[in-house]
Amino acid sequence: MKNILQILAAAALILMMTGCATTPVAYDYSAYKASKPRSILVLPPVSHAPDIDASPSMLSVATLPLAEAGYYVLPVAPVYETFRQNGVMVAEDAQSIEVRKLREIFGADAALYITVEKYGSVYQVLSSAVIVSADAKLVDLRTGEMLWQGHAQASSAENQNNGGGLLGMLVSAAVNQIVNQVTDRGHQIAGVASVRLLSAGHPSGLLYGPYNPKYESEK
Amino acid sequence: MMKNDASALRWLMALALLLLVGCAHQPVSLYQWGSYQDQVYLYFKGESREAQIQALEKDLQVMQAAHRPVPPGLRAHLGMLYAETGSDAKAQENLLAEKASYPESTTYIDLLLKKYQKQVALP
């Protein structure tokens, strides 16, 4: 009995020492840290998914994680309208405008280029799942330099246990706010994918921005 | 023997407790979001602008009552909705509020103010 308890105690101690440690990543943040962007322009997402909702859905859930990370996020719908009113009707065209021009019109420090890879139901043998996956690139609009890139996926089939902490809280917040009014499963899952993709404070994720008290706390 | 068991058990419980609380630093959200992101989605889906204005005005009241900062973009979005429904004064008021809270928006808000005032094409 005593031995078992000692082993358990030792195991708990080891778990405690390793539990909170984030895995070291070789992600190179040097350009990002030098750039210090304050504001982010989210360009209309390019979508490779057949569902026409994919791009507007992803665009409408991008603001929450970026703003919670500490950035000023330009209002996505007015920005979308500005593109349309100037003849830029498709996301591919918006994403190929030169950075100098984007900076001049919107005044943002950086732009986020999102590509939606999957959006919607994937039918498997025994069940179907709603999957959303997306890539994102953060580019400095003053220099054209790429500051960060990432990828994330979310699925209705996974266990929606987000492990607490800030990321878990943001995921619940994103999901809860969508559940209230929009009963659209793809859009709910897009909210989760967006939080995973665009939150700060996890390995290989975005850095905190100036509105977050943890700004410049990352090593 | 019994005593050792009891002390090991106490240790174990203390460690378990530490383990449980160790990683949970109080997560604090910077903003209240109300239904802002939903309203953006409903905007793209072409739903009623008036209903979106009502929902966002209600959210704003809740945020102001709780003395919480309004999330980036909300006032500009509301300004756009007012401009689209012909309430120019309300549009201007909200765009100016966005600019006052977030000076990073100045370049773009000035462009919107000019556009909504004159309804001219951008350069």
Show residues of chain B in contact with A187, CB under 8 Å.
41
Within-domain flag for A121: yes
A123: CATH: 3.40.50.10610
**How confident is the prediction for chain B on average, in pLDDT?**
85
In three-state secondary structure terms, B108 is helix
Q: Which of residues 104-123 of A touch B (CB under 8 A)?
A: 105-109
Residue A214 belongs to some domain of the structure: no
Q: Is A131 inside any structural domain?
A: yes
Q: Would you identify the CATH topology of the domain B41-118?
A: 1.25.40
User: Is residue B96 within 8 angstroms of chain A, CB to CB?
Assistant: no
Q: How far apart are the C-alpha atoms of A95 and A83, rounded to whole Å?
A: 11
- pLDDT cut 90: percent of chain B above it: 69
**Is the pLDDT score of A94 beyond 80?**
yes
* Cβ neighbours of residue A198 closer than 8 Å, sequence gap 6 or more: A62, A65, A66, A69, A112, A136, A150, A206
**pLDDT (0 to 100) of residue A164:** 57
Split into its structural domains, chain A has a count of 1
Contact A74 B29 (CB under 8 A): no
Instruction: Give the number of C-alpha atoms closer than 13 A to the C-alpha of residue A192, restricted to the C-beta side.
Output: 24
As a whole number of angstroms, the distance between CA A215 and CA B25 comes to 17
Domain range for A127 is 28-198
> Looking at residue B122, what is its pLDDT?
46
B47 close contact with A: CB closer than 8 A: no
What's the mean pLDDT in B5-27?
A: 58
Sign of the torsion formed by the C-alpha atoms of B29, B32, B38 and B39: negative
Q: What is the dihedral of CA A33, A38, A44, A48, to 10 degrees?
A: 20
Residue at A14 is within a domain: no
- Best mutation target, B5, B19, B40, B63, to test chain A (most A CBs within 10 A): B40
Q: What is the domain partition of chain B in residue ranges?
A: 41-118
pLDDT of residue A24: 55
- pLDDT (0 to 100) of residue A184: 80
ipTM over cut 0.90: no
Give the model confidence (pLDDT) of B53-108 as tens digits: 999 999 999 999 999 999 999 999 999 999 999 999 999 999 999 999 999 999 99
A8 inside domain: no
Per residue in A158-174, pLDDT (tens digit) is 755 555 566 676 666 66
pTM: predicted TM-score of the whole model, two decimal places: 0.80
pLDDT > 80? residue A103: yes
